[in-house]
């Protein structure tokens, strides 16, 4: 990936410079903000931010508050930087629509790799491998190239991780999925968070899907299963 604009938000100038330098070497354009309030202002002013890297603890407005403001109008991917590792802090962020967590201290190269992965998915570049561009089941239509979802013709606003979770469920219709398996396939490589993160995302996803949320069944003590009505089979189109 390259040429996308990344908003880096941190009250420490040295941290912003470190991240900016690594993103720059990877071909990204970088915008900066020193606190949450400035981040919201810069995001609204720039208009073409592809991803946000946001610190949690900042003056005037912290990362969670800034995320809440941005989520009122946008589902732009947000990677949260935090020195905290308590489970409750992560769950609070996921409830607000944060897509990834990176705990300080971190490897700048790993951070860039996460940005690459998120933007490949959201831009549709990962669809050039022969996989179907469109997935349809039980009135739910997922356009992978456009990164959009509709239910019975009505647009469904999802965060990056909610979209990936729904895609994984739909592609595994009728298959019982453990929480660990979902984590490994949706959060992948180096996420070490608690598997209950899945429960938080499923709760939000079900709520947004309305009646269709009932297609995601809970398997007590194990995980979840997406189960379309009898006779409904996934339709894949290129």
Q: What does the alpha-carbon distance between residue 185 and residue 168 come to, in Å, rounded to a whole number?
A: 8
Q: Can you list the alpha helix ranges (DSSP code H) found in 152-225? A: 160-171, 179-182, 197-209
| Together in a domain, 83 and 161 | no
| Together in a domain, 93 and 143 | no
| Together in a domain, 136 and 225 | yes
| Together in a domain, 25 and 87 | yes
At 126 the pLDDT is: 44
| Together in a domain, 163 and 99 | no
- The CA radius of gyration of the chain, in Å to the nearest whole number, is 18
Q: Structural domain of residue 208, as residue ranges? A: 130-237
Whole-prediction pTM: 0.67
Asked which of 123, 147, 173 is the last residue of a domain, the reply is 123
Sequence-separated (6 or more) residues with CB below 8 Å from residue 220:
none
At 187 the pLDDT is: 75
Q: What does the alpha-carbon distance between residue 20 and residue 29 come to, in Å, rounded to a whole number?
A: 8
At 131 the pLDDT is: 57
Asked which of 123, 151, 179 is the last residue of a domain, the reply is 123
| Residue 2's pLDDT band (cuts 50, 70, 90) | low
| Together in a domain, 65 and 29 | yes
Q: What does the alpha-carbon distance between residue 123 and residue 146 come to, in Å, rounded to a whole number?
A: 8
CATH of the domain at 208: 1.10.10.10
Asked which of 71, 106, 123 is the last residue of a domain, the reply is 123
Q: Provide mean pLDDT across the span 153-179.
A: 90
Q: Provide mean pLDDT across the span 45-58.
A: 93
Query: Tens of pLDDT along 172-193?
Result: 998 999 888 888 788 764 455 5
Query: Tens of pLDDT along 61-84?
Result: 999 999 999 998 888 999 998 876
| Residue in this structure with the two tokens 């899907």, named with its chain if needed | 209
Q: Which H or E run includes 18?
A: helix 13-25
Edge-to-edge strands of the sheet including 78-82? Answer: 29-33, 5-9, 49-55, 78-82, 100-103
How many of the other CB atoms lie within 10 Å of CB of 225?
A: 17
| Residue 233's pLDDT band (cuts 50, 70, 90) | low
CATH of the domain at 24: 3.40.50.2300
Q: How many domains does the chain have?
A: 2
| Together in a domain, 27 and 44 | yes
pLDDT at 166 over 50: yes
| Together in a domain, 151 and 232 | yes
| Together in a domain, 14 and 119 | yes
| Together in a domain, 86 and 47 | yes
pLDDT at 127 over 70: no
| Together in a domain, 140 and 210 | yes
Q: What does the alpha-carbon distance between residue 157 and residue 229 come to, in Å, rounded to a whole number?
A: 23
Report which listed range, 160-164, 178-182, 207-211, is most confident.
Answer: 207-211
| Together in a domain, 14 and 29 | yes
Of the candidates 182, 167, 58, the residue with the CA atom closest to the CA atom of residue 121: 167
Q: Provide mean pLDDT across the span 130-158.
A: 85
């Amino acid at each position: 990936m390259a040429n996308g604009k990344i908003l880096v938000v941190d009250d420490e100038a040295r941290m912003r410079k470190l991240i900016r330098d690594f993103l720059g070497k990877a071909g990204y354009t970088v915008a900066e903000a020193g606190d949450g309030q400035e981040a919201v202002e810069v995001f609204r002013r720039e208009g073409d931010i592809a991803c946000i890297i946001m610190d949690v603890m900042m003056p005037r407005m912290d990362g969670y508050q800034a995320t809440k403001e941005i989520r009122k109008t946008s589902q732009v991917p947000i990677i949260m930087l935090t020195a905290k590792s308590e489970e409750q802090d992560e769950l609070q962020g996921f409830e607000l629509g944060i897509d990834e967590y990176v705990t300080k201290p971190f490897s700048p190269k790993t951070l860039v790799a996460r940005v690459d992965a998120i933007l490949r998915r959201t831009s549709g570049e990962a669809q050039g491998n022969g996989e179907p561009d469109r997935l349809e089941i039980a009135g739910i239509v997922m356009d992978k190239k456009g990164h959009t979802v509709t239910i019975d013709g009505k647009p469904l606003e999802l965060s990056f991780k909610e979209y990936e979770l729904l895609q994984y469920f739909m592609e595994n219709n009728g298959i019982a999925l453990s929480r660990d398996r979902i984590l490994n396939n949706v959060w992948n490589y180096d996420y070490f968070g608690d598997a209950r993160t899945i429960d938080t995302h499923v709760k939000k996803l079900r709520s947004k899907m309305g009646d269709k949320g009932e297609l995601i069944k809970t398997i007590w003590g194990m995980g979840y299963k997406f189960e379309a009505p009898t006779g409904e089979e996934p339709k894949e189109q290129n």
